[in-house]
Structure 1
Amino acid sequence: MLTVLANGTTFRVLYVEDDQQMAAAFYQAFSETASITIVASLQEALYYLKADPNIDLVVFNDRLNSTSFLNAIRDNQQIGKLSTILLTGESAVDLNAEPYRGRVIDVFHYGYSEAAFQTRLSYLILKKQYAEKKHSAEDEEHEHAQGRMPIGKRLFDITLSFLLLLMISPLLLVVAILVKLDSKGPIFYGSKRVGMGYKVFSMYKFRTMRTDADQMLASMASKNMYNVKKVEEATDQICEECQLAGGICQRPLFLDDKQVCEKVHFRTEKAKAMFSKFKEDPRVTRLGKILRNTSIDELPQFYNILRGDMSFVGNRPLPPYEAEKLTASGYARRFAAPAGLTGLWQVTKRGGAAVSDQERIQLDVLYAKKYSFRTDLMIVIRTLKAVWQKENV
């Protein structure tokens, strides 16, 4: 069923593709989620956008000269800010380089997974829904639910973060020097995070990992602390329902030209963890372990608080790949609260306490519903007691 937004409109996608087979496949896969318009060239896309600039997303095939398209978008004030997803055959695309920076929000390679694209599309739709609800006049009285930072909380953040940065500036200088001497790489690490109202920003820390940490992540999936403990199921295994039917699969699903049981497949997918965290992480440097155990690596986030990206207390901002998994309404509620340096989850489940990703979400949602100055003060006090942690995570 086509997603209808709060104002009665649909999420609109302009797909730029001259291959009729690819265009038809895209329309068939995503037309039930969004309103799809297909054009076959760069010129048609620019003409369409000038005539109707209210497009939510452009999906552009790199083969049709994406560089010229992005430069034209940049120079045309009538079109305004536009989000673009690039389809490409290139092995690597630097989204921080021109002309991609600020205009291309994601890259999918030819032969991409429709499920992965659907997840990204659902995230963008939910983000727009949230923005519309946030500015709805009838919801103004529910400031917490709509993700609006209370003025008193913001003034407190500005004052305290400025004073703390001033006081600890000598310590920041010493740590910066030590990080540079300990291992090669930059002093600070800025990673993309999704915070309050689905705002994406760069969250800063002192670098505590090796420069190849991201490349090591894929090989460490089995060590994820949030993995659900389960018996491994073979891909050709059938479910209990199929076994009762004499071993004949009642719900066959074809993936990569191979038949699997649909029920087993989705049970396996559901069991995959939503968050990533590791004990005795081999990516962490020698100095990084000390900085993490004392939480000194978090100190540059006072700058994020001063900027307004975060608050002292809130829900931890998530990497985009984690935030995109929390698109269900019950999960999305956590993004109504400010992103925080510390929060209810950290002080409730700090140290050796067992924690699942579902427990973490529930605590985040609870904070979003009930946060107040009194709640924040309690969390700050408990954070000060827990800050000298002993757990290497």
Structure 2
Amino acid sequence: MISPRPSLAKRAFDVAASASALLVLSPVLLLAALAIRLESSGPVFYASWRVGAGYRRFRLFKFRTMYPDADQRLKDLAHLNQYAAEADAPEASGEGCAACAALEEGATCSPVLVGDGGEVICEAEHRRRQNAGPAFFKLQDDPRITRVGRFLRNTSIDELPQLVNILLGDMSLVGNRPLPLYEAEQLTADGDGARWMAPAGLTGLWQVTQRGTGEVSPEERIALDNTYAESHGLGFDLRLIAKTVPALFQSENV
């Protein structure tokens, strides 16, 4: 049976590994904090509400990599969302989703819904009409990121404060990424919900397998998260950890 609770062995490993990492990496943490403070005003750390295992909310800690008004500028940059560009692609044709366009006349792809005018439409067309946004948000060359912040992100140093989250039991070293509330609320359907039955993690399956490729889609992310939920355990985690370090040196910010 899939459970969002980590095994005792996995939890013991998480505590030992995160405590040791915090001790060994303390000089790096101090230098990063100093660089952030020298470049821009505002707090050194950034804490935001995230959703993790079992759809439980918690405060996730990171080094601040953006200017202090980054959250306020998010709506103004929504049109630059890489995932939104993918979601809007079917709209450009004016014929609903790509699957509908490939079917015989009079047929629609499944599942089907009834539109406001009584016509039969597919789910993709329904989402387009409702202006439903993509489940994930990501900007390329995000103008909200500081120079120091970009370096911290490219090296994944900005993620290191999450070792405290691991010590507190909010996360595991390996798991599905905890999502912001606005992304999590869009992943509660039956086909997406399996991801919440795995511990939240600092690194995970899709980050390791897709980092640097630039080809990960929302559907691929969900599929990889669901795969991890079905397979998670200490042995699988150790194999993913072995692949994490090489992945850190690839340029894609995941």
TM-score, normalised relative to structure 2: 0.84
CA contact (8 A) 1:280 1:392 kept: no
Q: CA, structure 1 residues 365+161, in 2 after alignment: closer, same or farther (shift >3 Å)? A: same
Question: Which residue does the alignment assign to 1:211?
Answer: 68
Return the letter of the residue paired with 1:296. I
Question: Which residue does the alignment assign to 1:390?
Answer: 251
Question: Which residue does the alignment assign to 1:192?
Answer: 49
Do structure 1's residue 287 and structure 2's residue 148 form an aligned pair? yes
Q: Give CA-to-partner distance per residue, 1:307-350, whole Å, 9 cap, x none.
A: 11111100000011111111112211101100000000101111
Shift of 1:146: 2.7
5+ long unaligned stretches in structure 2: 95-99, 107-113
Question: Which residue does the alignment assign to 1:317?
Answer: 178
CA contact (8 A) 1:179 1:187 kept: yes
Looking at structure 2, the residues matched to 292 and 166 of structure 1 have their Cα atoms a distance apart, in angstroms, of 21
Looking at structure 2, the residues matched to 167 and 213 of structure 1 have their Cα atoms a distance apart, in angstroms, of 31
Return the letter of the residue paired with 2:168. R
Question: Which residue does the alignment assign to 1:367?
Answer: 228
Question: Which residue does the alignment assign to 1:163?
Answer: 20
Looking at structure 1, the residues matched to 20 and 205 of structure 2 have their Cα atoms a distance apart, in angstroms, of 24
CA contact (8 A) 1:193 1:201 kept: yes
Q: CA, structure 1 residues 203+252, in 2 after alignment: closer, same or farther (shift >3 Å)? A: closer
Question: Which residue does the alignment assign to 2:160?
Answer: 299
TM-score, normalised relative to structure 1: 0.55
Question: Which residue does the alignment assign to 2:90?
Answer: 230
Q: Alignment partner for residue 183 of structure 1, among 22, 40, 56?
A: 40
When Rg is computed on C-alpha atoms for both structures, the one with the higher figure is 1
Q: Alignment partner for residue 221 of structure 1, among 73, 78, 84?
A: 78
Considering Cα pairs closer than 8 Å and 6+ residues apart, tell me whether 1 or 2 has the greater RCO. Answer: 2
Do structure 1's residue 151 and structure 2's residue 12 form an aligned pair? no
CA contact (8 A) 1:252 1:262 kept: no
Looking at structure 1, the residues matched to 120 and 38 of structure 2 have their Cα atoms a distance apart, in angstroms, of 53
Q: CA, structure 1 residues 251+325, in 2 after alignment: closer, same or farther (shift >3 Å)? A: closer
Q: CA, structure 1 residues 251+384, in 2 after alignment: closer, same or farther (shift >3 Å)? A: closer
Matches within 5 A, 1:6-155: 142=1, 145-155=2-12
- Among the aligned pairs, what percent are the same residue? 50
CA contact (8 A) 1:312 1:341 kept: yes
Aligned CA RMSD, in angstroms, stands at 2.5
Q: Give CA-to-partner distance per residue, 1:370-390, whole Å, 9 cap, x none.
A: 112221111111111111232
